[in-house]
Amino acid sequence: MPNWGEVLKEIQETHKKYPGKNPLDIVRRKYLKKVSTVTSRNVIAYYSGWLQKPKAPDTAVNDKDKSGFMLTIHKMDKSKGLDLILHTPGGDLAATESLVDYLYSMFGHNIRVIVPQISMSAGTMIALSAKEIILGKHSNLGPIDPQMGGMACQAILNEFEDAKRDIKSNPHAASLWQVIISKYHPTFLGACKQAIDWSENMVSQWLIDNMCSDDTSKVGGIMKMFADHKKQKSHARHISKKQCEEVGLNIISLEDNKELQDAVLTTHHAFMHAFASTNAVKIIENHNGIAYVEQSVPSIPTK
C-alpha cells in the first residue's frame, strides 16, 4: 500500500510523464476508480480540506454540497448502490438532513459509508444514515450533539438548569449567576432545545429505517453514545471503531479486505495532497472522474 510519501512521488512522476495535465487529478482518480473496481459499486468521495485550511470558508457541510452530489450522481446506475467516502468536520443540520434525503431518493437504503480517517458531527450523522460503515483501526466518528455559536446546546441548557437549582437553594448566588446566564435569552434556549430534538429524532429514524431495521432495540444505546453530551463531554471527542462496534453499529473492518484498504487509503492520501497543493477546500468526486471542486474562488465543476 503506497504511503503518503510514495503517493507524492507518484504524483511527481505523473507530472513528468504527462506534461500539461494535472497529476493530482490523474493519481487521485486512478485510485478512486480502483475503489469502485474492488466493490463493484458506485463510489463518491466527499472530502473537506479543513485540516489543511482550518480558517477557509465552505469546508463544512452546507447547502451548496447538493449541487456537487447532483453532478456526481448524474448518469449513475442507481441499482449498484453507493459507497460514500467521508472526510468532514460536519456542518449545517438542515443541509445534512436534505442531503441524506436526496441520497435515499437516489439509492434507497443501499448506501455504505467509508471513513478513511475522520467524519465528525454532521458527518457522523450521515454515516449513521447508512446501512453499514466501513472503518479502519485508525478511523473515528464523533458526537452528534448540536452546537450553537460553537457551544454545545445541551451544555447551555445544563448550565441554565444548574443556575436555577443553585439560586433556588442559595438566593445569594443570583448575582453571580446573572453575569453568566444574561448572555442567554429565552428564544436562544428554546432554539437549543429544538435543535437537540430535531437531530436526535432525525438520526434515530434513520437508524430505525436502515442500519437497525432488523433490531431497533440497539437505537437507544447508539443514541446514548453519540448524542449524549454528558457522556462524551466534548463535541470534539473522537469515537473509535471499537466503541462503534460495542454500541451495536453495523461496522465492517477496512482491514478485512486488503485490496479495498489499499485503494481507500491511497485515495485518502491523494486527496490530502490535492488540498495541500491547491486552493481547493472541498472536493466531491465520483469514480468516473466527475468532480465538484469548491475553492477559495468560485466553485468549478470539472471532468
Half-sphere exposure of 85 toward its Cβ, with a 13 Å CA cutoff? 32
Domain contains 63: yes
Residue given cell 495541500 in the structure block:
276
Quickly state the pLDDT bin for 242 (edges 50, 70, 90): very high
Q: Would strands 140-141 and 280-286 be described as parallel, antiparallel, or unpaired?
A: unpaired
Residues in the chain: 303
Same domain, residue pair 92 and 170: no
pLDDT at position 149 over 80: no
- From CA 146, how far away is CA 249, in angstroms rounded? 21
| CA–centroid distance for 295 within its chain | 19
pLDDT at position 298 over 60: no
User: pLDDT tens digits for 64-103?
Assistant: 999 999 999 999 999 999 999 999 999 999 999 999 999 9
Q: Give the model's pLDDT for residue 126.
A: 98
pLDDT at position 217 over 80: yes
Question: Which of 20-24, 158-162, 271-275 has the lowest average pLDDT?
Answer: 158-162
23 grid coordinates: 497529476
Same domain, residue pair 131 and 34: yes
Same domain, residue pair 152 and 105: no
pLDDT at position 168 over 80: no
User: pLDDT tens digits for 41-67?
Assistant: 999 999 999 999 999 999 999 999 999
Q: Give the model's pLDDT for residue 133.
A: 98
- The CATH number given to whatever domain includes residue 291 is 3.90.226
- From CA 228, how far away is CA 168, in angstroms rounded? 26
- Candidates 155, 162, 199; CA nearest to 177 is 162
Cβ atoms of 103 and 208 within 8 Å: the answer is: no
The domain of 43 spans: 4-142+238-302
Q: Give the model's pLDDT for residue 195.
A: 82
| C-alpha dihedral, 34 to 38 to 39 to 44, nearest 10° | -10
Same domain, residue pair 33 and 128: yes
Domain contains 279: yes
Cβ contacts of 94 within 8 Å, gap of 6 or more: 63
- From CA 194, how far away is CA 205, in angstroms rounded? 16
Cβ atoms of 120 and 90 within 8 Å: the answer is: yes
102 grid coordinates: 436526496
Same domain, residue pair 117 and 73: yes
User: pLDDT tens digits for 226-235?
Assistant: 988 778 778 8
Cβ contacts of 180 within 8 Å, gap of 6 or more: 159, 163
Quickly state the pLDDT bin for 145 (edges 50, 70, 90): confident
Same domain, residue pair 205 and 73: no
- What is the pTM (predicted TM-score) of this model? 0.90
- Chain-wide mean pLDDT for the chain? 90
